[in-house]
Structure 1
Amino acid sequence: MRISLGTTLLSYPKIVNRDLLLREFASRKQWQEVLLHYHKIRRAALPPHPDIIPPIFKACASLQSVKEGISIHADVIKMGFESCTSISNTVMSFYIKCGMTDSAMSLFDDMMNKDSVSWNVIIHGFLSHGEFEAGLSLFNQAKVSNFEPNVSTLVLVTQACWKLDAIEEGWNVHGLVIKNGFSHDVEVQNSMLCMYAKCRELVSARRLFDEMGARDVISWSALISGYAQSGEAAGALQLFREMSNEGTVDIDGLAVVSVLQACGGVGDIKQGRSIHGHLIRRGFEADLFVGNALVDMYSKCHDVGSATMAFNLMPHKNTVSWNSILAGLVQNEKYMEALSLFDLMRTGVESDEVTLVALLRLCKKLGQAFWCKCIHAMVIRRHFVSNELLLNSLLDAYAKCDLMELALKLFRRMKKRNVISWSVIMAGFAHCGKPDEAVAFFSEMQLAKEKPNSVTILSLFEACAVSAELKLSKCAHGVAIRNGLVDDLVVDTTLLDMYAKCGDLNASKKVFQRMPERSVSSWNAMIGALGMNGRPCEALATLHEMESDNVKPNGVTMLAVLSACRHGGLVEEGFSYFQRMLRDPLLQPSLEHYSCVVDMLGRAGDLVGALEVIKSIPDGLEAGPAAWGALLSACRSHGNYELGRWAASRVLELEPFNSAGYLLTSSMYAKGGSIDGSAKIRLLMKEKGMRIVSGYSVLHVGRKAHKFVSWDGSHPQSKEIYSMVELLHSHLKWTEKHDCLIT
């Protein structure tokens, strides 16, 4: 008995020393040594103290030693330590850090005594691994158990709320934050602010921001970002100015990127340049994310020169940088520059799905079917076939290049189709002048039990507008009503436009008058509807009514007004509105406005004035094919062939793959008596493999649409039709002659 007692007493200092040594290694984060000493203790058959268990599992988690951790867990169970809640919490934390949430959950379920730490560990574990629904479910269970959440858990829970767009759950979390006394913790407040901003609850976000006793750069950045991403660009810019004027907060990259996004969103190039100067003074210009945001902002403000300069000045570039400038060039119709940039990009930068989406937009603009096929091959080769956005963009590109057979084949082979995929095919049929096929495809979508959304309805309305068949359009209107989509502002606006293109202006007015609220887009659509139906004076009156209703016109509004003046021959009024735009810093004209004015003056025979407008386009913008094409068309109509040849050279230079410019040039030469010039242009088109899409008319008889191309004899009743046309033509000539005699 003495020997046994003496052995225990002699071994006790050894146990204490080894435990202390193990803790020392743990404090120094020497995890391999921690595990080595644990095994020495076990080989010596000495019982480890419960206090050394947590650092051992911390070592296993840090080293990701899963097998060893599971083995030590078995030791813990054998030694009877698992009944200790703190040790079970440690083991559970090890499993979570090793990504074994199922094992952690199994251990959690078996625990007899759970404390707040237990709940925080398991909730934190699921949320940190992106399992938001499971994490929120556990959080709700924990609330019933009256647990006390820590700051880290609350931050992750609020993040889960905006990830799942569960704003009601977020409000409940906010209540718990106030109840548990965390309402003055800046980290928790910032997480709540981010949640409200991400869920676009800007009123709640602003109220919380105003109530915060202390705000840091994260607080300002979160709210600025929320306003920018919600389309409230003016609010984002105002906040940035307040942040800069306060002077107590250092501006960070997130705030800068957000405010540049806001400038790009509203096209405020003046404010964007001012912020750019501010960034240079603050030393932000070398920041990669800020550089990318500058390229994107200048591109969206149509200042391609500044976007290119910002891109070239970036000390470091990534794939996002190249994608931003590429998308900017395509957006601003700099197609040849975009192709050159892509060739340069291929030499040292790996393109990704975003790059291919931008290239597909380029293919659509240039009508390059062969390039679409090449990109499709690249998608397959690079294993991008699971990217829904890319595949839908490819569908759209095939459709816009009149390759509906290939688009349909790709659609049928897609493993995953979403409502966008169906809508793109419908819009493709409409674009190719096949509205009946688009409507039939919508019926197929319904048979497939795919519920239409607003995008689908917009595609259906587009098909009805192309068919210009009023009865079909009313049926589509009924579909929108049955699916509860008529209160959507975008749907109502498109519905208005559809009726206008069917020639039923009264129906357009009824839709407009019944709108529960009218956005600037709604007013724009009504002005456009009046303009396209030959009511230019009513269109201008609607603009005045819009301004009386305290709705400020934007660039699209002024484009609709200028278009109405152009088609209605109101040259003086149109030019007056253009001058107004030049005077208003918020309504600075874009290339589309300049092109519209050029066309308006050209139609009126003022070719010199049209050329002067092209020359007056400011630096940063450059006359595109639309402006030069309008001038070319005017030269052809009014017989100014010398100016027309110059305009033609510019059109063919800017759009070398578009058949429209070649056809217009050939027509001008033919009208001017230059048969050789016309033949050379036709030969050039043939050498380039240009595909000419003829114009056509559609006549609906009963439920069947009959398509007529000029001098096409494919229709079974073509002989009778042409005989009737000649008879009507002779009758009209006879009537005109006898009217003159009577006069």
Structure 2
Amino acid sequence: MRFSAIVSGSKIPNWILRIKESATNGKWLEVISHYGEMRKAGFQTVDVSVFPPILEAWSFLSHRHGKSLHACLIKQGFDSFTSIGHSIMGFYIRCGDLDIAVDVFNYMVRNRDSVSWNILIRGHLDNGALVEGLWWFTNARVTGFEPNTSTLVLVIQACRSLRNKHDGLKLHGYVIKSGFWTISSVQNSLLSLYADADMEFARELFDEMHEKDVISWSVMIGGYLQWEDPQLALLMFREMVSVLGLEPDGVVVVTVLKACASSRDLCAGRLVHGLVIHRGFNCDLFVENSLIDMYSKCNDSGSAFKVFNEMSRRNNVSWNSMLSGFVLNENYLEALSLISSMKKEGVEADGVTLVNILQICKYFVLPFHCKSVHCVIIRKGIEANELLLSMLIHAYAKCNLVELAWEVFVRMKRRDVVSWSTMIAGFAHCGKPDEAIAVYQEMNKELEKPNSITIVNLLEACSVSAELKRSKWAHGIAIRRGFASEVIVGTAIVDMYSKCGEIDASRKAFDQIPSKNIVTWSAMIAAYGMNGLAHEALALFAEMKQHGLKPIPVTTLSLLAACSHGGLVEEGLSLFISMVQEHGFEPGFEHYSCLVDMLGRAGKLDAATEVIKMMPDNLKHGGASIWGSLLSACRSYGQTELCKEAISRVLELEPLNSAGYLVASRMYASDGLWEDAARMRVLAKEKGVKVFAGYSLVHIDDKACRFVAGDESHPQIDEIHSVGQQLHDCFKIDEKRNICQLLNANPTHQVVVDS
């Protein structure tokens, strides 16, 4: 016994020191190992300071052994010590057993102190039980409890997370009365709370602060950005950098770059980039990724790629940011090249990568690649990603694989308003308005509320069907849902009625839009042009300019199309020249194509050929449709030699498009060159070119009926033939050529029959 006592006296302090030292270094296995050795040797200690580190170690290693130690402490009566009670509470809180921690706290009714309250309140807040944590804080205040700074900061953060402005105001009063107001961490926590709830309150508080550190400024800059006021965020940053002795950190720089991206302020973004280089933040991966994002959103993908190329190291965010930038700026070839580089570097594609790849598939119409991405989604097990699946549905539909899009949609475990809207748009795009409308009706049954995009897609489906009754029904839905006054929906209504041939309803809808943008005016101009009212389109354009609006490319295209269909060649040429000279307009491929079509319809084939030759080289790669327009004009006006050149160009640029083969075959046939006509059709067949018949729409009892030449299947075919005969009888023989041109230009023409 005497020897044992001596050993106990020399060994126990060493074990205790080892346990505490291991705990300080976070070596929890060593803590338990030393404690186990001490127990095996049969030694016990009355030094209660050894148990807190052991309980902490068990909280990381074994919940069950920690509970056993708790039982031992109760048996030995050590649980009556306040420090042991605190350690037991901490053990259960770290294990997530908040109810047991509360039981321990209640048991400590006689010897609990401010530390006890702090542990309980912090425990609930750290574990995400914010409401309960605030409730305990209120109870503690009734007993006269004074929190420490870290607990008070957590309480303020809890009010911020719960968007509890009322309790935040009460806390603000308590902070001032209790003397915590001078502590910067408390001030910044209150500032963050107000920045989330009300920026006017935040600004008042910010102005009252005597000492503002980097965090204070960062909170204000981030607050303005969060409340969608990037200009004020940038102004706040300018104020910050003018303060002597205050240097922005990486977090501030990233927030400011987001503000530049949000406001599309490329000039400010470049200045911040200079600051990044000057302060040495260009080695910060987070900052570099933000620079790529900023340049991309400011439509400067070249500078974004330069930043990307100069990065010493990259992560998935870097690659995805650059890829998203290329896609956003429609640099699809560069995007494809980057995807190839990602594959070579062994960068694994994630959800963001796949979304961008699907965007590329949509643009180039790559059905096989869509299927490949679908396989990757299944293989990676990321089918729960709703955004990715919605993009897959959209890509399938754009690639005319709407049946596959429907299969993806049906199998989705959860459908949100985006997926429903995308499916409606998919059916509308593929010329299946009945299915699109059926999806909308099913969406209503599922009690999923539509948004403005849903309504726009529904209106688009009705415009495809070209049925006036349906269109009025959709218009009524837009009004009842409160979306008709929104400019995007109002513009879609204008477009829908114009495609139904109801130009008066289109103009009425246009006049009812409270705040029209340039797209709305362009849609109404296009509506007039589509319905053969070229003079009205030009008059509306003049009215638009009186409102101080400058035309955009789509406006010019609509005007040129109106002049083309209305035979206003001089007006169209004058308009084209004025756009270039007065407005600094850079014509795109579509504008040149429309100009060639206009000249070709008027028989000015030499001028049309000259326009094609003067086109910029970067636009000539897509010139098949331009040569196609010229080909149609040559056929109409009997220009055989020029026609042959146009045929050669069309077949060279678009060898898989049926239009070129058909027009060429008809031209040869009209000249009696039957062998050449047959050769065109054989060539199309050998290349596997699919021929899609043109169709017409006839309205009978407000229902649009689609038919093709020679189709005798419609139950009211006699009435359709009767209308056709009436048209032929009404026009003179020498006008036949103009009628043919009109029908060729608008194959989906509409004739209304009053039954």
Q: Output the TM-score relative to the length of structure 1.
A: 0.77
Q: Displacement, 1:110? A: 6.4
The amino acid across from 1:371 in the alignment is H
User: Is the Cα–Cα contact under 8 Å of residues 466 and 499 in structure 2 kept in the other structure?
Assistant: yes
**Structure 2 counterpart of 1:316, one-letter code:** R
CA distance in 1 between partners of 2:692 and 2:405 (Å): 19
Secondary structure of residue in 1 paired with 2:705: strand
The counterpart of 1:328, out of the listed 325, 330, 335, is 325
| Residue 314 of structure 2 corresponds to residue 314 of structure 1 | no
Q: What CA deviation, in whole Å up to 9, does each residue of 1:432-459 have, x standing for no partner?
A: 2222222222222222333334443333
- Given that 1:497 and 1:526 are in contact with CA atoms closer than 8 Å, whether structure 2 keeps it comes out as no
Alignment match, 1:355? 353
- 1:692, distance to aligned residue in structure 2 (A): 6.3
| Displacement after TM superposition at 1:564 (Å) | 4.9
Tell me how far 1:214 sits from its aligned partner: 2.9
Q: Distance in 2 between matches of 1:217 and 1:536?
A: 57
Whether 1:526 aligns to 2:525 is no
Distance 1:226 1:203 in 2: 11
Instruction: Name the SS for the 2:212 alignment partner.
Output: coil
One-letter amino acid of the counterpart of residue 412, structure 1: V
Distance 1:271 1:646 in 2: 49
Q: C-alpha displacement at 1:316, in angstroms?
A: 1.1
Indicate yes or no: 2:695 matched with 1:701.
no
Q: 1:198 to 1:475 in 2, by over 3 A?
A: farther
Matched, 1:93 2:95: no
Deviation (angstroms), 1:610: 8.2
**Aligned equivalents of 1:683, 1:254: Cα separation in 2:** 66
Choose from 123, 129, 138 the match for 2:133: 138
Within a 5 Å distance, the mapping from 1:198-597 to structure 2 comes to 201-228=198-225, 230-246=227-243, 248-347=245-344, 348-483=346-481, 491=489, 494=492, 498=496, 503=503, 504-513=505-514, 518=515, 522-534=516-528, 535-542=537-544, 544-545=546-547, 558-559=552-553, 561-569=555-563, 572=574, 576=578, 582=584, 594-595=588-589
**Alpha-carbon distance change, 395 to 339 in structure 1, aligned in 2, over 3 angstroms:** same
CA contact (8 A) 1:34 1:56 kept: yes
State the alpha-carbon separation in 2 of the partners of residues 175 and 34 from structure 1. Answer: 44
Does the Cα contact within 8 Å between 1:597 and 1:610 map onto a contact in 2? no
Deviation at 1:368, TM superposition (A): 1.8
Sequence identity percentage: 39
Matched with 1:60 is 58
Partner of 1:386: helix, strand, or coil? Answer: coil
Q: 1:471 to 1:312 in 2, by over 3 A?
A: same
Paired with 1:145 and 1:78, the residues of 2 have a C-alpha distance of 30
Partner amino acid, structure 2, of 1:336: L
Q: What SS does structure 2 have at the residue aligned with 1:512?
A: coil
Question: Which residue of structure 1 aligns with residue 175 of structure 2?
Answer: 180
The answer for the alignment partner of 2:739 in structure 1 is none
The equivalent position to 1:78 in structure 2, one of 33, 57, 75, is 75
Of 210-219 and 688-697, the range deviating more from structure 2: 688-697
Shift in Å, 1:21: 7.1
**Counterparts of 1:183 and 1:494, CA distance in 2:** 55
Q: Find out whether 1:729 has 2:728 as its counterpart.
A: yes
Structure 1 residue identity aligned to 2:330: E
CA distance in 2, matches of 1:485, 1:30: 62
Cα distance in 1 between the residues matched to 2:419 and 2:57: 50
Structure 1 residue 383: deviation in Å? 0.9
Report the CA distance between 1:362 and its aligned residue.
Answer: 1.3
Normalised by the size of structure 2, how large is the TM-score?
A: 0.76
Residue type at the aligned position of 1:538: L
Shift of 1:278: 3.6
Report SS of the residue matched to 1:351: coil
CA contact (8 A) 1:81 1:87 kept: yes
For residues 14-29 of structure 1, the aligned pairs below 5 Å read 23=20, 26-27=23-24
Cα offset for 1:262?
Answer: 3.5
- For structure 1, list consecutive stretches of 5 or more residues without a partner in the other structure: 548-552, 583-588, 616-621, 738-743
Letter in 1 for 2:63: V
Q: 1:45 to 1:270 in 2, by over 3 A?
A: closer
Residue-by-residue CA offset, 1:284-335 (whole Å, 9 max, x unaligned): 3333223323333333333333333332222212222222222333333333
Equivalenced residue count is 691
Question: Cα RMSD (Å) of the superposition?
Answer: 4.7
How far off its partner does 1:24 sit?
5.8
The change in CA–CA distance for 1:409 and 1:230 in structure 2 (over 3 A counts) is: same
In 1, distance between residues paired with 2:147 and 2:367?
A: 58
User: Which 10-residue stretch deviates more, 709-718 or 247-256?
Assistant: 709-718
Gap regions ≥5 residues in structure 2: 529-536, 564-570, 600-606, 737-755
**C-alpha separation between the residues in 2 aligned to 1:469 and 1:45?**
93
Q: Please give the secondary structure, in 2, of the residue aligned with 1:346.
A: helix
Indicate conservation of the 8 Å contact 2:491/2:510, yes or no: no
CA contact (8 A) 1:224 1:240 kept: yes
- Superposition deviation, residue 667 in structure 1: 5.7
Does structure 1 retain, via aligned residues, the 8 Å contact 2:647–2:664?
A: no
User: What amino acid maps onto 1:529 in structure 2?
Assistant: A
Please name the residue that 2:747 is paired with: none
| 1:333 and 1:624 in contact (8 A); partners too | no
CA distance in 1, matches of 2:391, 2:360: 11
User: Aligned equivalents of 1:126 and 1:677: distance in 2?
Assistant: 85
Check the 8 A contact 1:296/1:328 in 2, yes or no: yes
Q: Indicate conservation of the 8 Å contact 1:527/1:540, yes or no.
A: no
How far, CA to CA, are the matches of 2:285 and 2:366 in structure 1? 33
1:325 counterpart letter in structure 2: M
Q: Matched residues in 1 for 2:286 and 2:215: separation?
A: 17
Q: Deviations over 1:667-720 (max 9, x none)?
A: 699879999999999889877766666664444434644223566565455576
CA deviations on 1:555-595 (whole Å, 9 max, x unpaired) are: xx63454345434556556655666665xxxxxx7x8x745
With 710-719 and 273-282 compared, the bigger mean Cα shift is at 710-719
Deviation, structure 1 residue 350: 0.7
Larger radius of gyration: 2
Measured in 1, the distance between the counterparts of 2:331 and 2:647 equals: 18
1:115/1:421 Cα in 2 relative to 1: closer, same or farther (>3 Å)? farther
Q: Which residue in the other structure is 1:550 paired with?
A: none
Of structures 1 and 2, the one scoring higher in RCO (CA 8 A, sep 6+) is: 1
The structural deviation recorded for 1:734 is 4.9
1:356 Cα deviation from its structure 2 partner: 0.9
Work out the CA distance in 2 between the residues paired with 1:644 and 1:161.
77
Q: CA deviation at 1:382?
A: 1.2
Distance change >3 Å, CA 139–CA 708, structure 1 → 2: farther
SS in 2 for 1:707: strand
Moved more, 725-734 or 483-492: 483-492
Following TM superposition, by how much is the alpha carbon of 1:406 offset from its aligned partner in structure 2, in angstroms?
Answer: 1.5
1:710/1:148 CA distance change after superposition, 3 Å: farther
Q: Which has the larger displacement, 89-98 or 631-640?
A: 631-640
